[in-house]
Structure 1
C-alpha cells in the first residue's frame, strides 16, 4: 500500500481565530443598530433625530463594540492573562510601598513620552487639517483621562509584574538621572510609542469616512448595479479592516498579552512602511510613484460587459476580503512594525503575507495600469505599469524586513517560516521556484590537509 503523506500542522497561533470573529460580530451588530436607529428611535419614542447614526462619534463608538467582545473572549475563554509572555505573576502581588519608587519613574517616563508626542503632533502641520482634525480632537480629549488613569494602572500592574523595570521605566530613569538605565531599552520604548503615535492618529482619522458610507448606503440602489455592489462590499470590508486595526493600535495592554514586545529595529523596515502612509505617501505614492494617470479603471474598461463586470467586481471583493481577514485574525494585536506574538492561522496558513499579496493584487486588477484612456499614450502605459511595479516592490521590501524582525525575536516564527517554505499553499511553490531559478555557484572542495 502507498504510504499516506500527512502535512504537519503549523506551530500554534498566539491568537485564536475566535477573538477576531467576536470583534467582527460586535462591529456588525453596531453597524446594524446605527443603520436602523431611526426605526428604533421611533419605536421607543426617543427624542432627537430619526436618521441613521453615521457621524464621526458613532464610528468612534464602534471601537468599543469591536474591542469589547475581543477582550472578553481573550480573558474568559483564551485566558491570555495567565500566559507567561505577559510578564505578570498574578499570585504574588507586592506591597505598594515596595514598588512605588519604580512606578514613579515609569509614570514620569510615560508622561514625558506623551508630552513629546503631543509636541510632534503640534509641529506636524498635516495633523491640523482635513481628516486628521478629528484624530487630534479625539486624542486631545483622551489625554487627561490617560494621565489620570495611568497612575493607578501603573501601580496596580507593577505590583504584579515579574520585572516592573520595563521599557518605559528605563526612559523615565534616563530622564530623572537617579538610576542606571539601558539605552537599548530606551530605544525599544521609543520604537513602540512612535509606532502607536504615528499609526494611531492615522487610523483614528480614517474611521469616520468609511463608516458613514456604510451606514448611509441605500441597499436598494445596489440591485442590478455590479459596480455599485462591488464598491459597497469593498468599502464594508475596508471598514472592518480599519476598525479592528485601530483597536489593535489602542489596546496594547500587558494583562491582555497584547503589549508591543518590540518595534522593528531595522531602518529599512521603517522607511518601507512609512512611505506607504501620510504624510510621506502623499509625496511618494501620490506623486513620484503615481500609477493611475489616464487609466479608466476596471469599471469603465468593462462597462459594456455586464457579466464580466460582476465577475471582475466579485474578484476584487474576494481580494479585499482576504485583506480584511488578514487583519481580523490579529484580534486585538494588529499593528505595523511590531512583534506582538506569532500568527499561523487564517490566511497565514497559506502565505506569510496575505495582506500585502491581496492588497497589491487588488491594485493591479482594479487599476489595470496598462490600459489608458483615448487621450493617454504609450508613455502613460509604461509609466503606470512601472510605477505600480515599484509600489509592489516596496511591499515586498516591507515583507522581508518584517520577516527579519520576527526571525530575530521568536523561535516560533522560525518554525513557522520553515513550515511555510515546505507546506504553504502559496508560499511553498514560490519558494521551490525561487530555489530552481537561483543560480548555484561552483562547489569548492576543502583544501587537503
Structure 2
C-alpha cells in the first residue's frame, strides 16, 4: 500500500491526510513505554507485548479522532444493533481462530525456536482477546451503526443456505487473514529479538559505544514496534479496514522472497551479494575502504543511518494500516510526498552504501558481487511494480501516482525515460485488462 501527494480530488474515505507527526509520535511512545517497563521483572516477550500495546492504544486514540470528525452518531434499533454486534464479534473471533489454526497447522515452520515468542505471547494475550473484541464491537456499533461496514463475509459461507455467498468478499477476507498470519509472527518475533539484544547491551547502545551499526539496531526496533500493531487488527471504528488484497502470484512471490525463511535462501545463499573484507578474495565496500579515514567513514555511516531513518519514517507513517499486499487507504503525507516507494528506495540506497564493492583484488569477483546486489534491487523493483499495478484499481492512488510523474523527486528523470512514468504503465495495464475482458 502506498501514498499520495496533495491536493488530490478524490474520495475522502480513501485519502488520509496530516500524518507527518505519526512516526515521531510512535517512536516517543515506544521510548517512554520501554523506560517504564525496562526494570520490571518481565520477559522479553512480555516487554514486546507492552510496547506493541502502548503504540496500539495511543495511535488508536489518534486514528479514532481523525476517523470520526464530522461523523454523526446514528439512531439505532437496539435489537438490530445487538444482532450486528454479535455477528461482528463472531466474525472477528472466527478470524482469530483461523489465524491461530494456520500457525498450528504449519507447526514445521512456527514450531522453530525463533517463533517461541509467538506462543508465549498467545498464552498471555488470548484471555483478553474475546472481551476486547466485544468491547470494540459495541463501541463501533454505538458510534457508527452501519457506517463503514467492513463486509467481511466469514459467516456467509456458514449461512449460504439463507443467502448467497459473497465470493469476492470471502476471498478478500481469506487473503487478509493469510497476510496477518504470515507477517504478524515475523514482525513480533523480530521485535522480541531486538529487545533481547537491546536489554543485554543497553548501556553500550545508549552511550553510542558500538557506533552506527548498533544505532541501526535501535532504529530497527522502533520500526518493528511501530508497524506490528497494524497486523493485529483492522477496525471500521478507526477506518483501518482492509479494502482489497493483492491476489497476484508474482506479488506474493516477490514479497515473501524478502522475508524469512525465503530471504535466507534467496538473499544469503543464492544471491550472496555482501562485499567481504578478508580471505583470498577481498571485496571492499565504502565502509571498508574508509576504515582508516575517520572523517569520511563517519560521513558514510551517517548517510547509511539517514537511509534507515527514512525507512523508519516510511514504514511508521502507515501506523495501524501497516500491512503487506493490502490496500487500507491511500495516505497523503510523510515521505510519500517525495517518492512512491521511500521504503524500498531507502533500503536499496543503504545496502548500496554498506555492501556495494568498490575495490577488489579480483575484478571478476567485484563484477559478480555488484551484479548480485543489482539482483536484490531488482526484486524490490518488482515489488514496487506489483504494488503499483494492484493499486491502479484505486482512483485515489491513480491520482497520486499521476501527480508524482510531474511533482515527485524522480519527475525530471521520468520526463526523459518513458518507462519510468506511471502514466505509461497505467495505459499498458488498462489495455491488457480490456483485451482480457473481451476474451
| TM-score, reference length from structure 2 | 0.81
How has the CA–CA distance of structure 1 residues 16 and 343 changed in structure 2, closer, same or farther, with 3 Å as cutoff? same
Show the counterpart of 1:314. 302
Q: CA deviation at 1:429?
A: 1.8
Deviations 1:110-161 (A, max 9, x none): 4444333323212332212232110232134433432454445446545644
Q: Is the 8 A contact 2:246 2:325 kept in 1?
A: yes
Aligned partner (choices 242, 247, 262) of residue 280 of structure 1: 262
How has the CA–CA distance of structure 1 residues 164 and 408 changed in structure 2, closer, same or farther, with 3 Å as cutoff? closer
Q: CA deviation at 1:332?
A: 2.2
Which structure ranks higher in relative contact order (CA pairs < 8 Å, sequence separation ≥ 6)? 2
Show the counterpart of 2:324. 336
Q: Is the 8 A contact 2:148 2:236 kept in 1?
A: no
Show the counterpart of 2:64. 75
Q: Is the 8 A contact 1:252 1:260 kept in 2?
A: yes
Deviations 1:239-270 (A, max 9, x none): 12111111222242221112222212333222
User: Does structure 1 residue 349 correspond to structure 2 residue 337?
Assistant: yes
Show the counterpart of 1:408. 393
Which runs of structure 2 are paired with 1:194-209 in the superposition (5 Å)? 194-209=178-193
How has the CA–CA distance of structure 1 residues 127 and 360 changed in structure 2, closer, same or farther, with 3 Å as cutoff? same
Q: CA deviation at 1:198?
A: 0.9
Aligned partner (choices 291, 295, 311) of residue 303 of structure 1: 291
Q: CA deviation at 1:345?
A: 1.5
Deviations 1:336-368 (A, max 9, x none): 111111122121111011110010111111112
User: Does structure 1 residue 387 correspond to structure 2 residue 376?
Assistant: no
How has the CA–CA distance of structure 1 residues 165 and 308 changed in structure 2, closer, same or farther, with 3 Å as cutoff? closer
Show the counterpart of 2:112. 129
Alpha-carbon RMSD across the aligned residues, in angstroms, is 3.1
Show the counterpart of 1:23. 26
Q: Is the 8 A contact 1:289 1:388 kept in 2?
A: yes
How has the CA–CA distance of structure 1 residues 34 and 162 changed in structure 2, closer, same or farther, with 3 Å as cutoff? closer
C-alpha distance in structure 1 between counterparts of 2:242 and 2:233, whole Å: 10
C-alpha distance in structure 2 between counterparts of 1:32 and 1:9, whole Å: 37
Q: Is the 8 A contact 1:13 1:343 kept in 2?
A: yes
Q: Is the 8 A contact 2:205 2:214 kept in 1?
A: no
C-alpha distance in structure 2 between counterparts of 1:220 and 1:26, whole Å: 19
How has the CA–CA distance of structure 1 residues 110 and 59 changed in structure 2, closer, same or farther, with 3 Å as cutoff? closer
| TM-score, reference length from structure 1 | 0.79
C-alpha distance in structure 1 between counterparts of 2:127 and 2:37, whole Å: 29
How has the CA–CA distance of structure 1 residues 437 and 104 changed in structure 2, closer, same or farther, with 3 Å as cutoff? closer
Q: Which runs of 4+ in 1 moved over 6 A?
A: none
How has the CA–CA distance of structure 1 residues 162 and 315 changed in structure 2, closer, same or farther, with 3 Å as cutoff? same
Show the counterpart of 2:432. none
Q: CA deviation at 1:102?
A: 5.3
Q: Which runs of 5+ in 1 are unaligned?
A: 1-7, 38-47, 441-449
Show the counterpart of 1:44. none
Q: Which moved more, 1:23-32 or 1:287-296?
A: 287-296
Show the counterpart of 1:420. 404
Larger Rg: 1
